Structure 1
Amino acid sequence: MPRVTHPSSPGLFPEGDSPRSRIAYETRRTTQKAAQAANRRRAVPRWQQFLGRRATVIVPLALVGGLVLWGWASGKLAAAGNAVDAAFLDVTARGGLQVQEVLVKGRKETDGAQVLAALGVERGSPILGFDPHAARKQLEQIPWIASARIERRLPDTLFVVLTERQPMAIWQHEQKLALVDAEGTVLTDHNLDHFPNLPILVGDGAPKQGRALLAALASEPTIQSRVDAAVLVGARRWDLHLKGGLEVRLPEMNFEAAVHQLAALEASDKILERDVVAIDLRVPDRLVVQSSPAALAAKAAAKAADKKRQAAAKKN
């Protein structure tokens, strides 16, 4: 009859049947099994191990991504999204979130109908469907409006704050008149009689170059009040046309100093009240005055009369 060896026999534990030998034997067996398992894992490439572990996540995501891509390419996804958005906005509007009032602050010259057209909203429209950013861009396309700010004040009000451009002058160009601001933006060519005190700028490019000239004139009110128009000559320099027909020719460079010089001459000699037709300030430190024909004739007559008096005095 075969004989069965007890686990504690030396056949199973070559080192002997002692607690220390059994522990050593179990430790070696555990280490061998771990090494065998590691060798089996190393036999499989790492990318296959990664895919094996991630397959349960990657496969569903790939399916969902494919469905989304197909829906986007076919347009059905966008249509479904639009339908959901429309249904949502309809529910909010029926719940009271709809435009009932538009409040506008800062509007003086801008036409109200233009503002409403730029906002593109009607009474009863879903207020959550209103796009403030797109409406702001449309408002700033209106010439009078420099900037705009729009707020949705739930549940039913749009609040609009406008900053309008400031008119600087009337621009005469190609026999037409238009209102312009300091940046040269054309504001309007209607109702110009509402701005009777604005100076007139004449010539190509006059609005953009006129800002510095008008600033220089503003620093000398006695000259500014007499100016009817400023003509840009050759896109380089200005001629001032004063009330009464007097023309003042300013230099190309440092015309501000010439304006101050003219104001000083008016204060000391009342030059603008004399019978002259032109004052030339184009040459620094030099003043050229052109008298009117009447003044020249009067001067010639005075000289002739003086000569007669001298001749009569010699005879006597």
Structure 2
Amino acid sequence: MPRVSAAAYDTGRGSADSHRAKIAAAARRATMQAARRANRRRALPRWALPSLRAGLKLSPVLLLAGFLAWVWADGRLPEMAGKASEGFVRTTAEAGLAVTEVLVKGRAETDGAAVLAALGVGTGSPMLTFDPHAAQAALQALPWVAAATVERRLPGTIFVQLVERTPMALWQHEQKLYLVDADGVVLTDERLERWPDLPMLVGADAPKHGRELLALLSAEPLIGARVEAAVLVGGRRWDLRLDNGVDVRLPEKEMAAALRQLATVQQTNRVLERDIVAVDLRVPDRLVVQTSAQAAEQRREAQRQKKI
């Protein structure tokens, strides 16, 4: 049986002690590291960790905001936005949202080229850049247009509904004739022969006051049908020129009563068919007739014959 010496025994025992020492040292190091980590965590305030996480999440947004601020300060952001918008509109037009038809209803006198110019569009124009409200305002600024409705009907139709003005009279001003409506709006000065039956208004402000007069003449057709021209005197009252050359001087007020009086006298006595040059109605309840020089001479001659 082999014998174990004391030296061999002592060596084995030392190795076991050394192994246990290493384990203990490793445990102490782990404990110290854990304590240091715990101390670091305790050193930070409670709000620090959530704030740190939020900052990490917001960092891309902050970077983007900083970039946009730099681009804006450099003056490039509006240009970039404009290019992006132009690209989007161009893409929609290429996809089919472009003007293919302009449909106009209610147009009789308004020039077609003027309508298109007011709309500001043509075939192929992007629908999304068309402004119906601006087009409506531009159309209603045209002389013949009293009202306009403008619609954008996708994918490619612009619809326009016009209400045109109604001519009321011819207006003579500074040796020139114009066509005007009931609001005194000048419609045109061309091809006026198309309205031969309209009365003529004369005077600087005649179109503004003509509606009332023409309404009163319409109510007395026995007189109104014979009026060829109406002259506004002093901006206050009217003189009428009839188809036989007789002038009718109306009062500043109570025009309706004066015209009714003249119509009654004409119906009973045919005063307007006599050899007269004027009828003065400016004095209330009185009708003054001015005869012609020839009629006056004939009357004097008749009186002389009676005396013989």
Question: TM-score, structure 2 length as denominator?
Answer: 0.77
Q: Distance in 2 between matches of 1:219 and 1:275?
A: 26
Please tell me the root mean square deviation across aligned C-alpha atoms, in Å. 2.6
Could you tell me how far 1:122 is from its partner in structure 2? 1.1
One-letter identity of the residue aligned with 2:178: A
SS of 2:252's equivalent in the other structure is coil
Q: Which residue of 1 aligns with 2:232?
A: 232
| Aligned-pair identity (%) | 56
Q: Which residue of 2 aligns with 1:209?
A: 209
Structure 2: where are the runs of 5+ without partners? 1-50
Q: Distance in 2 between matches of 1:270 and 1:220?
A: 15
CA, structure 1 residues 255+115, in 2 after alignment: closer, same or farther (shift >3 Å)?
Answer: same
The equivalences for 1:58-207 within 5 A come to 75-207=75-207
Structure showing greater radius of gyration is 2
Which segments of structure 1 move beyond 3 Å, counting only runs of 4 or more?
Answer: 55-75
Could you tell me how far 1:233 is from its partner in structure 2? 0.5
Could you tell me how far 1:170 is from its partner in structure 2? 0.8
SS of 1:223's equivalent in the other structure is helix
SS of 2:159's equivalent in the other structure is strand
CA, structure 1 residues 278+71, in 2 after alignment: closer, same or farther (shift >3 Å)?
Answer: farther
Could you tell me how far 1:78 is from its partner in structure 2? 2.4
Q: Which residue of 1 aligns with 2:34?
A: none
Could you tell me how far 1:129 is from its partner in structure 2? 1.8
One-letter identity of the residue aligned with 1:157: T
Instruction: Map Cα deviations across residues 163-212 of structure 1 (whole Å, 9 max, x no partner).
Output: 11111111111111111111111111111111111111101111101111
Equivalenced residue count is 258
Q: Distance in 2 between matches of 1:307 and 1:74?
A: 111
Structure 1: where are the runs of 5+ without partners? 1-51, 309-316
Q: Which residue of 1 aligns with 2:266?
A: 266
Q: Distance in 1 between matches of 2:64 and 2:149?
A: 41
Question: TM-score, structure 1 length as denominator?
Answer: 0.75
SS of 1:302's equivalent in the other structure is helix
SS of 1:260's equivalent in the other structure is helix
Q: Distance in 2 between matches of 1:282 and 1:168?
A: 26
One-letter identity of the residue aligned with 2:232: L
Could you tell me how far 1:66 is from its partner in structure 2? 7.2
Q: Distance in 2 between matches of 1:66 and 1:118?
A: 44
Could you tell me how far 1:280 is from its partner in structure 2? 0.3
Larger displacement relative to structure 2 (273-282 or 70-79): 70-79
Larger displacement relative to structure 2 (204-213 or 55-64): 55-64
